[in-house]
Amino acid sequence: MKRCLVIHLGGENENFIAALGDRRAEVLWRGCDRDLERARALVRGHDGKVDAIGLDGIPTDLELGDAHRRYQPGCEVAAAAKRTPVVDGSGVCAGLERWSVVLADRAEPGIFSQKRVLMVPGINHVGLAQALGRLTPRVEYYDPEMFFGLPDVPGVGSKETLGTADAPTLEALKDAPLDKISPPAHADARRVTPHFRWADVIAGDAAAIRHFAPMDLRKKTVVVPCATREDADDFRTRGASILVTLMPSLEPGVAMARYSAALIEAVFVALRDDPSIPLTEDTYLNLMAEISWSPYIRYLQEEEEGINRFAFVIHPLDVGFVHKHPDFTWTKHLPDRVVEEVAAYLKPVYVGRISGGRSPATGQRIEGYLFALGSTPRQMMRHSARFTYDRLNEAAKMAERHGCRLMGLGAFTSVVGDAGETVAHEASIAITSGNSLTVAATLEAAKQAVVKMGATQLTQGRAMIIGATGSIGAVCSRLLAQAIYDVVLVSIEPEKLIDLKRTIERETPGTKVTIALRPRDLAADCDLVVTATSAFGQRILDISTCKPGAVICDVARPPDIGEREAALRPDVAVIESGEVLIPGDIDIGYDIGLPKGTAYACLAETALLAMEGRFESYTLGRNIDVERVKEIYRLFKKHEFQIAGLRSFGKVLTERDFAEKRRLAAELAADPERLARTRAEVSARIAEMPVEAKGVRGGNEIVERLTHVAERIPVLSHAVERLRVFASQEDYDAMEGSR
Q: In this predicted model, what pLDDT tens digit does every residue of 179-220 receive, in sequence order? A: 899 988 776 655 567 889 999 999 999 999 999 999 999 999
Architecture of domain 437-581+646-690: 3-Layer(aba) Sandwich (3.40)
pLDDT on residue 611: 97
pLDDT on residue 7: 95
Cα atoms in the 13 Å half-sphere on the side-chain side of 364: 17
Type of residue at 661: K
pLDDT on residue 336: 85
Label the pairing between strands 406-409 and 486-490.
unpaired
The gap from C-alpha 641 to its chain's centroid, in whole angstroms, comes to 21
Label the pairing between strands 242-245 and 296-299.
antiparallel
Backbone angles phi, psi at 109, to 5 degrees: -55, 130
CA distances from residue 229 to 56, 259, 478 in whole angstroms, order as listed: 17, 12, 60
pLDDT on residue 156: 59
CB 314 within 8 A of CB 369: no
pLDDT on residue 163: 66
Cα separation, 566 vs 366, whole angstroms = 38
Of 520, 538, 522, 516, residue with least CA distance to 729: 538
3-state secondary structure of 201: strand
Give the H/E segment covering residue 369.
strand 365-372
Count of all residues that appear for the chain in the document: 739
CATH class for the region spanning 91-262+283-303: alpha beta
Cα separation, 372 vs 391, whole angstroms = 10
Helix and strand numbers (H, E) in the chain are 28, 32
The gap from C-alpha 547 to its chain's centroid, in whole angstroms, comes to 44
pLDDT on residue 514: 96
Alpha helix ranges (H) inside 174-309: 178-181, 194-198, 206-212, 229-237, 261-271, 281-288
Backbone angles phi, psi at 410, to 5 degrees: -105, 150
Q: How many CB atoms lie within 10 A of CB 149?
A: 9
Residues of the chain whose pLDDT is less than 70? 151-157, 160-161, 163, 187-192, 278, 281, 290, 535-537, 691-739
Give the H/E segment covering residue 29.
strand 23-31
Bridge partners, 648 (sequence order): 651
CB 474 within 8 A of CB 623: yes
Q: List strand residue ranges (DSSP E) for 148-287, in order.
A: 201-204, 221-224, 242-245
Label the pairing between strands 580-581 and 528-531.
unpaired
Alpha helix ranges (H) inside 372-490: 377-382, 385-401, 421-426, 435-452, 471-484
CB 574 within 8 A of CB 646: no
pLDDT on residue 592: 84
Cα separation, 637 vs 625, whole angstroms = 19
- Summarised one tens digit per residue, pLDDT across range 295-323 is 999 999 988 888 999 999 998 877 877 77
Of 542, 382, 367, residue with least CA distance to 466: 542
